[in-house]
Protein backbone atom coordinates (compact mmCIF):
# COMPACT_ATOMS: atom_id res chain seq x y z
CA UNK A 1 0.00 0.00 0.00
CA UNK A 2 1.33 3.43 -0.81
CA UNK A 3 2.06 5.82 1.99
CA UNK A 4 -1.02 7.95 2.60
CA UNK A 5 -0.92 11.59 1.66
CA UNK A 6 -1.59 12.43 5.29
CA UNK A 7 1.34 10.37 6.51
CA UNK A 8 3.58 11.92 3.87
CA UNK A 9 2.53 15.33 5.08
CA UNK A 10 4.17 14.80 8.44
CA UNK A 11 7.25 12.91 7.33
CA UNK A 12 10.77 13.90 7.56
CA UNK A 13 11.72 16.69 9.84
CA UNK A 14 15.26 15.37 9.69
CA UNK A 15 15.83 15.06 5.96
CA UNK A 16 14.27 14.43 2.60
CA UNK A 17 14.21 10.67 2.68
CA UNK A 18 17.37 8.67 2.66
CA UNK A 19 18.45 5.64 0.72
CA UNK A 20 17.83 2.43 2.64
CA UNK A 21 19.98 -0.69 2.47
CA UNK A 22 18.09 -2.01 -0.53
CA UNK A 23 18.69 1.15 -2.52
CA UNK A 24 15.07 2.24 -2.28
CA UNK A 25 14.08 5.59 -0.88
CA UNK A 26 13.00 5.39 2.72
CA UNK A 27 11.15 8.30 4.28
CA UNK A 28 12.67 9.50 7.51
CA UNK A 29 10.76 10.43 10.65
CA UNK A 30 11.70 11.22 14.18
CA UNK A 31 9.49 8.43 15.47
CA UNK A 32 7.72 5.31 14.29
CA UNK A 33 4.84 4.10 16.44
CA UNK A 34 3.61 0.56 16.01
CA UNK A 35 -0.06 0.10 16.89
CA UNK A 36 -3.11 2.38 16.97
CA UNK A 37 -4.63 1.17 20.21
CA UNK A 38 -4.79 3.45 23.22
CA UNK A 39 -0.99 3.30 23.58
CA UNK A 40 -0.24 4.22 19.97
CA UNK A 41 -2.87 6.96 19.83
CA UNK A 42 -1.53 8.71 22.89
CA UNK A 43 2.09 8.28 21.79
CA UNK A 44 1.35 9.93 18.45
CA UNK A 45 -0.42 12.78 20.23
CA UNK A 46 2.51 13.33 22.61
CA UNK A 47 5.10 13.05 19.82
CA UNK A 48 3.23 15.63 17.80
CA UNK A 49 2.97 17.98 20.78
CA UNK A 50 6.74 17.58 21.24
CA UNK A 51 7.27 18.68 17.62
CA UNK A 52 8.45 15.27 16.41
CA UNK A 53 7.58 13.96 12.99
CA UNK A 54 5.80 10.67 13.50
CA UNK A 55 4.29 7.86 11.50
CA UNK A 56 2.19 5.08 12.95
CA UNK A 57 1.50 1.65 11.49
CA UNK A 58 -1.54 -0.38 12.37
CA UNK A 59 -2.49 -3.84 11.13
CA UNK A 60 -6.21 -3.16 11.53
CA UNK A 61 -8.26 -0.93 9.28
CA UNK A 62 -8.86 1.60 12.04
CA UNK A 63 -7.86 2.66 15.53
CA UNK A 64 -8.83 0.77 18.70
CA UNK A 65 -6.25 -2.01 19.10
CA UNK A 66 -7.63 -4.79 21.25
CA UNK A 67 -11.11 -3.23 21.02
CA UNK A 68 -10.90 -3.27 17.25
CA UNK A 69 -10.29 -7.01 17.14
CA UNK A 70 -12.18 -8.38 20.16
CA UNK A 71 -15.73 -7.89 18.91
CA UNK A 72 -17.20 -11.05 20.37
CA UNK A 73 -20.63 -10.73 22.00
CA UNK A 74 -20.42 -9.53 25.60
CA UNK A 75 -16.94 -8.01 25.34
CA UNK A 76 -16.60 -5.25 27.93
CA UNK A 77 -13.96 -3.67 30.09
CA UNK A 78 -13.51 -5.28 33.49
CA UNK A 79 -12.70 -2.19 35.49
CA UNK A 80 -15.26 0.65 35.55
CA UNK A 81 -15.46 2.75 32.38
CA UNK A 82 -14.95 5.99 34.31
CA UNK A 83 -11.50 4.69 35.24
CA UNK A 84 -10.92 2.98 31.90
CA UNK A 85 -10.41 6.39 30.31
CA UNK A 86 -7.57 8.66 29.38
CA UNK A 87 -6.82 11.33 31.97
CA UNK A 88 -4.63 13.56 29.80
CA UNK A 89 -7.26 15.80 28.26
CA UNK A 90 -9.98 17.77 30.03
CA UNK A 91 -11.50 18.47 26.65
CA UNK A 92 -11.80 14.74 26.07
CA UNK A 93 -13.39 14.20 29.46
CA UNK A 94 -15.90 16.92 28.77
CA UNK A 95 -16.82 15.60 25.34
CA UNK A 96 -17.25 11.96 26.27
CA UNK A 97 -19.93 10.32 28.36
CA UNK A 98 -19.79 6.62 29.21
CA UNK A 99 -23.22 5.09 29.38
CA UNK A 100 -22.58 2.00 31.50
CA UNK A 101 -20.49 1.04 34.49
CA UNK A 102 -18.61 -1.53 32.35
CA UNK A 103 -18.69 -0.21 28.79
CA UNK A 104 -19.33 -2.56 25.90
CA UNK A 105 -16.72 -3.16 23.20
CA UNK A 106 -18.62 -1.04 20.63
CA UNK A 107 -18.71 1.87 23.07
CA UNK A 108 -15.00 1.57 23.92
CA UNK A 109 -14.19 1.39 20.21
CA UNK A 110 -16.30 4.52 19.69
CA UNK A 111 -14.25 6.19 22.42
CA UNK A 112 -11.01 5.35 20.56
CA UNK A 113 -12.54 6.72 17.36
CA UNK A 114 -13.69 9.83 19.14
CA UNK A 115 -10.13 10.41 20.40
CA UNK A 116 -8.76 9.90 16.89
CA UNK A 117 -11.29 12.35 15.43
CA UNK A 118 -11.04 14.96 18.13
CA UNK A 119 -7.22 15.13 17.97
CA UNK A 120 -6.97 14.41 14.27
CA UNK A 121 -4.70 11.43 14.87
CA UNK A 122 -5.67 9.14 12.00
CA UNK A 123 -3.70 11.16 9.46
CA UNK A 124 -0.48 10.05 11.15
CA UNK A 125 -1.31 6.36 10.81
CA UNK A 126 -1.10 3.97 7.96
CA UNK A 127 -3.78 1.31 8.49
CA UNK A 128 -3.98 -2.22 7.11
CA UNK A 129 -0.21 -2.27 7.44
CA UNK A 130 1.68 -4.65 9.69
CA UNK A 131 5.27 -3.99 10.71
CA UNK A 132 7.35 -6.98 9.67
CA UNK A 133 10.75 -5.89 10.93
CA UNK A 134 12.58 -3.14 12.77
CA UNK A 135 16.35 -3.21 12.39
CA UNK A 136 18.75 -0.83 14.10
CA UNK A 137 21.24 0.79 11.76
CA UNK A 138 24.19 1.47 14.05
CA UNK A 139 26.01 3.71 11.58
CA UNK A 140 23.13 6.11 11.28
CA UNK A 141 21.68 5.48 14.74
CA UNK A 142 18.27 4.96 13.18
CA UNK A 143 15.65 2.27 13.03
CA UNK A 144 14.82 0.85 9.65
CA UNK A 145 11.23 -0.29 9.83
CA UNK A 146 9.75 -2.47 7.11
CA UNK A 147 6.09 -3.30 6.66
CA UNK A 148 4.32 -6.29 5.17
CA UNK A 149 3.43 -4.08 2.23
CA UNK A 150 7.14 -3.73 1.40
CA UNK A 151 7.49 -0.15 2.54
CA UNK A 152 10.51 0.96 4.54
CA UNK A 153 10.83 4.00 6.76
CA UNK A 154 13.64 5.27 8.93
CA UNK A 155 13.27 6.81 12.35
CA UNK A 156 15.43 7.70 15.31
CA UNK A 157 12.91 6.39 17.77
CA UNK A 158 10.74 3.34 17.54
CA UNK A 159 7.87 2.92 19.98
CA UNK A 160 6.18 -0.45 20.20
CA UNK A 161 2.60 0.17 21.31
CA UNK A 162 1.68 -3.33 20.29
CA UNK A 163 -0.52 -4.29 23.25
CA UNK A 164 -0.25 -6.97 25.90
CA UNK A 165 -3.00 -9.22 24.53
CA UNK A 166 -2.95 -8.75 20.79
CA UNK A 167 -1.82 -12.11 19.41
CA UNK A 168 -4.61 -14.68 19.76
CA UNK A 169 -3.43 -18.25 20.18
CA UNK A 170 -4.08 -20.40 17.14
CA UNK A 171 -6.77 -23.05 17.54
CA UNK A 172 -4.06 -25.70 17.38
CA UNK A 173 -6.06 -28.69 18.63
CA UNK A 174 -5.53 -31.83 16.58
CA UNK A 175 -7.87 -31.97 13.60
CA UNK A 176 -8.88 -28.30 13.91
CA UNK A 177 -8.45 -27.72 10.19
CA UNK A 178 -10.85 -30.53 9.34
CA UNK A 179 -13.92 -28.88 10.87
CA UNK A 180 -16.54 -28.18 8.21
CA UNK A 181 -18.70 -25.78 10.22
CA UNK A 182 -17.98 -22.16 11.08
CA UNK A 183 -14.98 -21.26 13.20
CA UNK A 184 -14.79 -18.16 15.37
CA UNK A 185 -11.84 -16.93 17.42
CA UNK A 186 -12.87 -14.43 20.11
CA UNK A 187 -9.81 -12.25 19.55
CA UNK A 188 -10.38 -12.09 15.78
CA UNK A 189 -14.15 -11.79 15.70
CA UNK A 190 -15.81 -10.91 12.36
CA UNK A 191 -16.87 -7.33 11.78
CA UNK A 192 -20.26 -8.28 10.42
CA UNK A 193 -23.05 -9.37 12.74
CA UNK A 194 -22.84 -13.03 13.74
CA UNK A 195 -26.05 -14.91 14.49
CA UNK A 196 -26.06 -18.20 16.37
CA UNK A 197 -29.84 -18.55 16.06
CA UNK A 198 -30.81 -22.20 15.77
CA UNK A 199 -27.19 -23.36 15.86
CA UNK A 200 -25.36 -25.90 17.97
CA UNK A 201 -22.26 -24.17 19.24
CA UNK A 202 -19.08 -25.38 20.97
CA UNK A 203 -17.23 -22.88 23.16
CA UNK A 204 -13.67 -23.96 23.93
CA UNK A 205 -12.04 -22.24 26.90
CA UNK A 206 -13.36 -20.64 30.07
CA UNK A 207 -11.27 -17.46 30.48
CA UNK A 208 -12.68 -13.92 30.39
CA UNK A 209 -13.54 -14.05 26.67
CA UNK A 210 -15.63 -17.21 27.05
CA UNK A 211 -17.17 -16.11 30.33
CA UNK A 212 -18.31 -12.82 28.80
CA UNK A 213 -19.57 -14.31 25.54
CA UNK A 214 -21.24 -17.52 26.71
CA UNK A 215 -24.44 -15.96 28.12
CA UNK A 216 -25.07 -14.06 24.87
CA UNK A 217 -24.23 -17.01 22.64
CA UNK A 218 -26.56 -19.18 24.73
CA UNK A 219 -29.34 -16.61 24.36
CA UNK A 220 -29.37 -17.29 20.61
CA UNK A 221 -28.11 -20.81 20.05
CA UNK A 222 -30.22 -23.95 20.13
CA UNK A 223 -27.50 -25.79 22.06
CA UNK A 224 -24.18 -24.75 23.55
CA UNK A 225 -21.48 -27.07 24.83
CA UNK A 226 -18.72 -25.47 26.88
CA UNK A 227 -15.40 -27.31 26.93
CA UNK A 228 -13.66 -26.39 30.17
CA UNK A 229 -10.11 -27.30 31.08
CA UNK A 230 -9.71 -25.11 34.17
CA UNK A 231 -12.64 -23.49 35.99
CA UNK A 232 -12.03 -19.81 36.59
CA UNK A 233 -12.96 -17.44 39.38
CA UNK A 234 -15.59 -15.03 38.11
CA UNK A 235 -17.27 -12.15 39.92
CA UNK A 236 -20.62 -10.62 38.96
CA UNK A 237 -20.45 -7.31 37.06
CA UNK A 238 -23.94 -6.17 38.10
CA UNK A 239 -23.61 -3.87 35.15
CA UNK A 240 -25.93 -0.87 34.88
CA UNK A 241 -26.15 2.65 33.58
CA UNK A 242 -23.98 5.25 35.27
CA UNK A 243 -26.13 7.68 37.21
CA UNK A 244 -25.71 11.44 37.06
CA UNK A 245 -24.88 11.36 40.73
CA UNK A 246 -22.02 8.90 40.15
CA UNK A 247 -20.72 11.08 37.34
CA UNK A 248 -20.78 14.11 39.64
CA UNK A 249 -18.95 12.21 42.37
CA UNK A 250 -16.31 11.06 39.89
CA UNK A 251 -15.91 14.55 38.45
CA UNK A 252 -15.41 15.97 41.92
CA UNK A 253 -12.88 13.25 42.73
CA UNK A 254 -11.04 13.53 39.41
CA UNK A 255 -8.55 16.35 40.27
CA UNK A 256 -7.39 14.43 43.36
CA UNK A 257 -7.22 11.21 41.34
CA UNK A 258 -5.06 12.88 38.71
CA UNK A 259 -2.81 14.48 41.29
CA UNK A 260 -2.42 11.15 43.07
CA UNK A 261 -1.50 9.42 39.80
CA UNK A 262 1.08 12.11 39.11
CA UNK A 263 2.57 11.56 42.55
CA UNK A 264 2.86 7.85 41.82
CA UNK A 265 -0.19 6.43 43.58
CA UNK A 266 -1.82 3.34 42.14
CA UNK A 267 -4.83 4.03 39.90
CA UNK A 268 -6.63 1.25 41.77
CA UNK A 269 -7.45 1.44 45.48
CA UNK A 270 -4.98 -1.29 46.49
CA UNK A 271 -4.26 -1.45 50.24
CA UNK A 272 -0.55 -1.15 51.07
CA UNK A 273 1.35 -4.44 51.23
CA UNK A 274 1.30 -5.84 54.75
CA UNK A 275 -1.76 -3.86 55.84
CA UNK A 276 -3.38 -5.90 58.62
CA UNK A 277 -7.17 -5.64 58.42
CA UNK A 278 -9.39 -6.40 61.37
CA UNK A 279 -11.46 -9.56 61.09
CA UNK A 280 -14.51 -7.46 60.32
CA UNK A 281 -12.69 -5.48 57.60
CA UNK A 282 -11.48 -8.68 56.00
CA UNK A 283 -14.90 -10.38 55.95
CA UNK A 284 -16.53 -7.23 54.61
CA UNK A 285 -13.96 -6.81 51.86
CA UNK A 286 -14.35 -10.46 50.82
CA UNK A 287 -18.17 -10.21 50.71
CA UNK A 288 -17.84 -7.11 48.52
CA UNK A 289 -16.69 -9.35 45.66
CA UNK A 290 -20.37 -9.96 44.99
CA UNK A 291 -21.27 -6.25 45.03
CA UNK A 292 -20.45 -5.65 41.36
CA UNK A 293 -17.14 -3.85 41.78
CA UNK A 294 -15.43 -6.70 39.96
CA UNK A 295 -11.66 -6.62 39.90
CA UNK A 296 -11.63 -3.48 42.06
CA UNK A 297 -13.28 -5.42 44.88
CA UNK A 298 -10.68 -8.14 44.43
CA UNK A 299 -7.64 -5.88 44.59
CA UNK A 300 -9.13 -4.18 47.66
CA UNK A 301 -8.88 -7.37 49.72
CA UNK A 302 -5.72 -6.73 51.76
CA UNK A 303 -2.83 -9.07 50.88
CA UNK A 304 -5.05 -11.25 48.68
CA UNK A 305 -2.17 -12.32 46.45
CA UNK A 306 0.37 -12.38 49.27
CA UNK A 307 -1.31 -14.25 52.08
CA UNK A 308 -2.46 -17.82 51.44
CA UNK A 309 -4.99 -17.85 54.28
CA UNK A 310 -6.72 -14.67 53.11
CA UNK A 311 -6.65 -15.98 49.57
CA UNK A 312 -8.23 -19.28 50.56
CA UNK A 313 -11.02 -17.43 52.38
CA UNK A 314 -11.75 -15.30 49.32
CA UNK A 315 -11.63 -18.39 47.12
CA UNK A 316 -14.04 -20.19 49.46
CA UNK A 317 -16.43 -17.27 49.19
CA UNK A 318 -16.53 -17.63 45.39
CA UNK A 319 -16.87 -21.41 45.68
CA UNK A 320 -19.92 -20.98 47.94
CA UNK A 321 -21.52 -18.58 45.47
CA UNK A 322 -21.02 -21.00 42.56
CA UNK A 323 -22.65 -23.75 44.58
CA UNK A 324 -25.57 -21.46 45.41
CA UNK A 325 -26.14 -20.32 41.82
CA UNK A 326 -25.67 -23.51 39.80
CA UNK A 327 -28.56 -25.89 40.43
CA UNK A 328 -27.07 -29.20 39.25
CA UNK A 329 -24.54 -30.15 41.97
CA UNK A 330 -22.34 -32.05 39.53
CA UNK A 331 -22.14 -29.07 37.16
CA UNK A 332 -21.60 -26.74 40.11
CA UNK A 333 -18.71 -28.87 41.31
CA UNK A 334 -17.15 -28.96 37.83
CA UNK A 335 -17.41 -25.16 37.59
CA UNK A 336 -15.87 -24.61 41.01
CA UNK A 337 -12.36 -23.18 40.80
CA UNK A 338 -9.84 -25.01 42.97
CA UNK A 339 -6.15 -25.70 43.12
CA UNK A 340 -4.84 -22.22 42.38
CA UNK A 341 -5.10 -18.95 44.28
CA UNK A 342 -7.87 -16.53 43.34
CA UNK A 343 -6.34 -13.61 41.45
CA UNK A 344 -3.24 -15.59 40.42
CA UNK A 345 -4.90 -16.07 37.05
CA UNK A 346 -6.77 -12.98 36.00
CA UNK A 347 -10.22 -13.30 37.54
CA UNK A 348 -13.22 -12.64 35.32
CA UNK A 349 -16.13 -10.25 35.63
CA UNK A 350 -19.35 -11.62 34.21
CA UNK A 351 -23.01 -11.09 33.58
CA UNK A 352 -24.97 -14.27 34.37
CA UNK A 353 -22.11 -16.65 33.56
CA UNK A 354 -22.75 -19.26 36.24
CA UNK A 355 -26.53 -18.96 35.89
CA UNK A 356 -26.26 -19.73 32.17
CA UNK A 357 -25.43 -23.33 33.13
CA UNK A 358 -28.92 -23.66 34.63
CA UNK A 359 -30.39 -23.47 31.12
CA UNK A 360 -31.34 -26.87 29.69
CA UNK A 361 -29.61 -26.30 26.34
CA UNK A 362 -26.22 -25.45 27.93
CA UNK A 363 -23.86 -28.35 28.68
CA UNK A 364 -20.49 -28.35 30.41
CA UNK A 365 -17.81 -30.82 29.41
CA UNK A 366 -15.11 -31.16 32.06
CA UNK A 367 -11.94 -31.71 30.07
CA UNK A 368 -10.05 -32.73 33.20
CA UNK A 369 -12.16 -35.90 33.18
CA UNK A 370 -12.72 -36.31 29.44
CA UNK A 371 -10.11 -34.38 27.43
CA UNK A 372 -10.57 -33.33 23.83
CA UNK A 373 -9.17 -36.07 21.60
CA UNK A 374 -9.61 -34.16 18.35
CA UNK A 375 -11.69 -31.74 16.37
CA UNK A 376 -13.55 -33.67 13.69
CA UNK A 377 -15.29 -32.46 10.53
CA UNK A 378 -18.58 -32.34 12.47
CA UNK A 379 -17.57 -31.24 15.93
CA UNK A 380 -15.51 -31.98 19.01
CA UNK A 381 -14.48 -35.48 20.03
CA UNK A 382 -13.61 -36.11 23.64
CA UNK A 383 -12.26 -39.34 25.04
CA UNK A 384 -15.87 -40.48 25.59
CA UNK A 385 -18.16 -38.74 23.09
CA UNK A 386 -18.58 -36.93 19.80
CA UNK A 387 -20.31 -33.56 20.19
CA UNK A 388 -21.72 -32.47 16.85
CA UNK A 389 -21.88 -28.71 16.33
CA UNK A 390 -22.45 -26.12 13.61
CA UNK A 391 -19.92 -23.63 14.97
CA UNK A 392 -16.86 -23.66 17.21
CA UNK A 393 -15.91 -20.59 19.23
CA UNK A 394 -12.26 -20.71 20.27
CA UNK A 395 -11.78 -18.60 23.38
CA UNK A 396 -8.35 -20.06 24.05
CA UNK A 397 -6.43 -16.90 24.91
CA UNK A 398 -3.37 -15.02 23.74
CA UNK A 399 0.38 -15.22 23.41
CA UNK A 400 0.48 -12.45 25.97
CA UNK A 401 2.94 -9.61 26.53
CA UNK A 402 5.75 -10.88 24.31
CA UNK A 403 3.73 -12.37 21.40
CA UNK A 404 3.32 -9.18 19.38
CA UNK A 405 6.96 -8.18 19.82
CA UNK A 406 8.37 -11.59 19.04
CA UNK A 407 6.43 -11.99 15.83
CA UNK A 408 8.21 -8.98 14.33
CA UNK A 409 11.85 -9.32 13.41
CA UNK A 410 13.31 -6.75 15.80
CA UNK A 411 17.09 -6.47 15.64
CA UNK A 412 19.28 -4.24 17.74
CA UNK A 413 23.01 -3.69 17.96
CA UNK A 414 25.10 -6.23 16.08
CA UNK A 415 21.96 -7.54 14.35
CA UNK A 416 20.88 -9.38 17.52
CA UNK A 417 17.28 -10.47 17.35
CA UNK A 418 14.98 -9.62 20.27
CA UNK A 419 13.53 -13.13 19.97
CA UNK A 420 16.97 -14.59 20.70
CA UNK A 421 17.74 -12.15 23.48
CA UNK A 422 14.39 -13.15 25.03
CA UNK A 423 14.69 -16.87 24.32
CA UNK A 424 14.66 -17.62 28.05
CA UNK A 425 12.04 -15.00 28.82
CA UNK A 426 11.68 -11.25 28.33
CA UNK A 427 14.36 -9.00 29.79
CA UNK A 428 13.77 -5.27 30.05
CA UNK A 429 14.69 -2.33 32.21
CA UNK A 430 11.52 -0.95 33.83
CA UNK A 431 9.49 -2.76 31.17
CA UNK A 432 10.08 0.16 28.85
CA UNK A 433 13.44 -0.50 27.14
CA UNK A 434 15.84 -3.32 26.32
CA UNK A 435 19.66 -3.38 26.51
CA UNK A 436 21.16 -3.59 23.04
CA UNK A 437 18.13 -1.91 21.43
CA UNK A 438 18.87 1.84 21.51
CA UNK A 439 15.95 4.25 21.16
CA UNK A 440 13.45 1.40 21.12
CA UNK A 441 10.65 1.81 23.64
CA UNK A 442 7.95 -0.60 24.77
CA UNK A 443 4.61 0.77 25.96
CA UNK A 444 3.54 -1.40 28.95
CA UNK A 445 6.18 -4.00 28.18
CA UNK A 446 7.02 -7.06 30.28
CA UNK A 447 8.62 -5.97 33.53
CA UNK A 448 6.11 -3.15 34.06
CA UNK A 449 2.79 -3.33 35.98
CA UNK A 450 0.69 -3.11 32.78
CA UNK A 451 -2.03 -5.76 32.94
CA UNK A 452 -2.02 -5.79 36.75
CA UNK A 453 -3.08 -2.19 36.96
CA UNK A 454 -5.34 0.10 34.93
CA UNK A 455 -4.11 -0.26 31.35
CA UNK A 456 -5.16 3.29 30.46
CA UNK A 457 -3.13 4.97 33.17
CA UNK A 458 -0.26 2.50 32.69
CA UNK A 459 -0.17 3.51 29.02
CA UNK A 460 -0.22 7.20 29.85
CA UNK A 461 2.57 6.84 32.39
CA UNK A 462 4.80 5.03 29.90
CA UNK A 463 4.08 7.35 26.98
CA UNK A 464 4.74 10.41 29.14
CA UNK A 465 7.97 8.90 30.42
CA UNK A 466 9.12 7.96 26.90
CA UNK A 467 8.29 11.40 25.51
CA UNK A 468 10.06 13.12 28.40
CA UNK A 469 13.13 10.92 27.87
CA UNK A 470 13.21 11.88 24.21
CA UNK A 471 12.90 15.55 25.19
CA UNK A 472 15.83 15.11 27.58
CA UNK A 473 17.98 13.69 24.79
CA UNK A 474 16.96 16.47 22.40
CA UNK A 475 17.84 19.20 24.89
CA UNK A 476 21.34 17.76 25.34
CA UNK A 477 22.15 16.66 21.79
CA UNK A 478 22.23 13.06 22.92
CA UNK A 479 21.64 10.61 20.11
CA UNK A 480 20.63 7.42 21.80
CA UNK A 481 19.43 5.90 25.05
CA UNK A 482 19.42 2.26 26.06
CA UNK A 483 19.57 0.40 29.35
CA UNK A 484 22.90 -0.82 30.64
CA UNK A 485 23.14 -4.60 30.86
CA UNK A 486 23.68 -4.35 34.65
CA UNK A 487 20.64 -2.16 35.25
CA UNK A 488 18.53 -4.51 33.16
CA UNK A 489 19.77 -7.62 34.98
CA UNK A 490 19.09 -5.97 38.33
CA UNK A 491 15.56 -4.98 37.23
CA UNK A 492 14.76 -8.46 35.92
CA UNK A 493 15.97 -9.95 39.22
CA UNK A 494 13.84 -7.43 41.13
CA UNK A 495 10.74 -8.23 39.02
CA UNK A 496 11.22 -11.92 39.80
CA UNK A 497 11.85 -11.31 43.50
CA UNK A 498 8.67 -9.27 43.76
CA UNK A 499 6.67 -11.96 41.96
CA UNK A 500 8.12 -14.61 44.27
CA UNK A 501 6.80 -12.74 47.30
CA UNK A 502 3.28 -13.35 45.97
CA UNK A 503 1.02 -16.27 45.15
CA UNK A 504 1.03 -15.38 41.42
CA UNK A 505 3.58 -18.02 40.40
CA UNK A 506 1.28 -20.74 41.80
CA UNK A 507 -1.11 -20.63 38.83
CA UNK A 508 -0.43 -21.71 35.25
CA UNK A 509 -1.42 -18.31 33.90
CA UNK A 510 -0.70 -16.25 30.82
CA UNK A 511 1.12 -13.82 33.17
CA UNK A 512 3.72 -16.61 33.41
CA UNK A 513 3.56 -17.63 29.76
CA UNK A 514 2.22 -20.99 30.96
CA UNK A 515 -0.67 -20.99 28.46
CA UNK A 516 1.58 -21.23 25.40
CA UNK A 517 3.38 -24.54 24.90
CA UNK A 518 7.15 -24.03 24.86
CA UNK A 519 7.02 -20.43 26.09
CA UNK A 520 9.56 -19.73 28.87
CA UNK A 521 7.88 -19.58 32.27
CA UNK A 522 8.75 -16.15 33.57
CA UNK A 523 6.33 -13.97 35.50
CA UNK A 524 6.06 -10.96 33.20
CA UNK A 525 4.19 -8.10 34.90
CA UNK A 526 5.81 -6.11 37.72
CA UNK A 527 3.95 -6.61 41.01
CA UNK A 528 6.06 -4.48 43.35
CA UNK A 529 4.94 -1.16 44.79
CA UNK A 530 6.01 2.35 43.77
CA UNK A 531 6.68 1.65 40.10
CA UNK A 532 5.99 5.17 38.79
CA UNK A 533 8.03 6.71 41.60
CA UNK A 534 10.94 4.46 40.56
CA UNK A 535 10.59 5.50 36.91
CA UNK A 536 10.48 9.17 37.89
CA UNK A 537 13.56 8.78 40.09
CA UNK A 538 15.45 7.16 37.22
CA UNK A 539 14.56 10.11 34.98
CA UNK A 540 15.36 12.71 37.66
CA UNK A 541 18.80 11.14 38.11
CA UNK A 542 19.60 11.75 34.42
CA UNK A 543 18.24 8.37 33.31
CA UNK A 544 20.10 6.30 35.83
CA UNK A 545 20.76 2.78 34.58
CA UNK A 546 20.63 3.93 30.97
CA UNK A 547 23.59 4.52 28.68
CA UNK A 548 23.29 7.78 26.78
CA UNK A 549 25.41 8.22 23.68
CA UNK A 550 25.96 10.84 21.05
CA UNK A 551 25.22 9.96 17.44
CA UNK A 552 27.67 7.44 16.05
CA UNK A 553 29.19 6.91 19.50
CA UNK A 554 29.29 3.32 20.79
CA UNK A 555 27.38 2.75 24.03
Which of 319, 346, 411, 427 contacts ligand N01 by CB under 6 A? 346
Cα–Cα distance measured from residue 32 to residue 259, given in angstroms and rounded to the nearest whole number? 30
515 near ligand N01 (CB under 6 A)? yes
User: Residue 13, Cβ neighbours under 10 Å: how many?
Assistant: 12
Which of 30, 78, 151, 352 contacts ligand N01 by CB under 6 A? 78
Which of 64, 343, 397, 431 contacts ligand N01 by CB under 6 A? 397
Which of 510, 526, 531, 546 contacts ligand N01 by CB under 6 A? 510
Cα–Cα distance measured from residue 98 to residue 289, given in angstroms and rounded to the nearest whole number? 23
For 179-236, give the DSSP string: --SEEEEGGG--SS----TT-EEEEE--SHHHHHHHHHHHHH-SEEEEEESS---EEE
Query: For the window 144-173, what string marks contact with ligand N01 as x by the rule CB under 6 A?
Result: ---------------------x-------x
CB 157 within 8 A of CB 482: no
Segments of 257-404 assigned E as strands? 348-350, 362-366, 372-376, 379-382, 386-388, 391-394
Closest by Cα among 215, 238, 539 to 393: 215
Which of 10, 44, 82, 204 contacts ligand N01 by CB under 6 A? 204
Give least dist CB 349 to ligand N01, A.
Answer: 6
Minimum CB distance to ligand N01 smaller for 158 or for 210:
210
CB 84 within 8 A of CB 456: yes
Question: Which among 90-98, 191-199, 226-234, 410-418 is the span making contact with ligand N01, rule CB under 6 A?
Answer: 226-234
112 near ligand N01 (CB under 6 A)? no
402 near ligand N01 (CB under 6 A)? no
Number of residues that bind ligand N01 (CB under 6 A): 28
Minimum CB distance to ligand N01 smaller for 206 or for 488:
206
For 398-444, give the DSSP string: B-TTTHHHHTSEEE-GGG-BHHHHTTTS---BTTTB-TT-TTEEETT
Which of 206, 303, 321, 336 contacts ligand N01 by CB under 6 A? 206
Residue whose Cβ sits closest to ligand N01: 207
Query: For the window 37-76, what string marks contact with ligand N01 as x by the rule CB under 6 A?
Result: ---------------------------------------x
Minimum CB distance to ligand N01 smaller for 108 or for 242:
108
State the Cα torsion 257-262-268-271 to the nearest 10°: -100
Half-sphere exposure of 420 (CA within 13 A, CB side): 11
Which chain residues interact with ligand N01 by CB under 6 A? 76-78, 165, 173, 186, 204-210, 212, 227, 229-230, 346, 349, 367, 372, 395-398, 451, 510, 515
Amino acid sequence: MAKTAEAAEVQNSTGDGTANGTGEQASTYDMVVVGAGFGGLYQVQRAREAGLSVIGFEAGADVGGTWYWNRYPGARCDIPSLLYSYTWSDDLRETWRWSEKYATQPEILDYARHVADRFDLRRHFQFDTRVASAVYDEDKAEWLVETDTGETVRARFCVMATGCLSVPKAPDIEGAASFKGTIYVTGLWPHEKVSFAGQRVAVIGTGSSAIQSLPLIAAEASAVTVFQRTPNYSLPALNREISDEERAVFDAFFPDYKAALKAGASPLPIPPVGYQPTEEELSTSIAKMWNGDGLISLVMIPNLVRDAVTNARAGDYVREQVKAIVKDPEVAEALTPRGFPIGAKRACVDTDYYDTFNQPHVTLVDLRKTPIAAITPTGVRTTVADVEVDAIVYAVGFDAMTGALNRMDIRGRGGRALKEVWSEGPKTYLGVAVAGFPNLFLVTGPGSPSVLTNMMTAIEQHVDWITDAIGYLGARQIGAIEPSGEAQEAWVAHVNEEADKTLFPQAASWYLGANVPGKPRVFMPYVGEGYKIRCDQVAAAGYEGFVLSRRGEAA
